Amino acid sequence: MPFFCVEFGCPLQVSYHRGRDGYDNSINTEPWNAEFCAIYFGNQAYTLETPQYRELIRNLFQGSQTYARSLQSNPTEIHAPNVQQLQELFIRNTWRSWRTMGNTAGMIPWENGHGWAASRTPTKK
């Protein structure tokens, strides 16, 4: 039987935010890229935060745990090598396991079309 996953992939950008009240409300909360990536990469997730990312977060802060909507300059996609490493880990390992089970197609990760830097530090395989 054919199998096709829709909207399958790494967590969506709001999954890296503090808020847990739906997409529209969560996007206006504090981004926690490093905190979530540290689950997989430990302290390296914090050292991978770029100065541009930290400046963007500072500029988005509005006060009282509220942040400006950051869709146009999404901090999980721009200046976020730790998130890119998590995507790389997920895609590589998930696709390998799926191929092992005989599924050679049908995977279209929603984060695969955007959010990748032109050059980044490779990870150990």
Domain residue limits at 50: 5-109
Q: In the chain, what percentage of residues exceed pLDDT 90?
A: 15
What local confidence, expressed as pLDDT, does residue 34 receive? 92
What local confidence, expressed as pLDDT, does residue 55 receive? 87
Q: Which two tokens stand for residue 125?
A: 């395989």
What local confidence, expressed as pLDDT, does residue 100 receive? 87
> Within a domain: residue 122?
no
What local confidence, expressed as pLDDT, does residue 103 receive? 79
Enumerate residue ranges in the chain where pLDDT < 70: 1, 70-79, 105-125
What local confidence, expressed as pLDDT, does residue 43 receive? 96
CA 87, CA 102: separation in Å to the nearest integer?
22
Residues 6+ apart with CB under 8 A from 31: 16, 17, 18, 57, 67, 70, 75, 76
Question: What is the tens place of the pLDDT at every residue in 14-29?
Answer: 888 899 888 888 888 8
Contact 16, 61 (CB under 8 A): no
What local confidence, expressed as pLDDT, does residue 65 receive? 84
Quick one: angle between helices 33-41 and 81-100, nearest 10? 50
What local confidence, expressed as pLDDT, does residue 44 receive? 96
> Within a domain: residue 116?
no
CA 88, CA 51: separation in Å to the nearest integer?
22
> Within a domain: residue 29?
yes
Domain count, the chain: 1
How many of the other CB atoms lie within 10 Å of CB of 5? 13
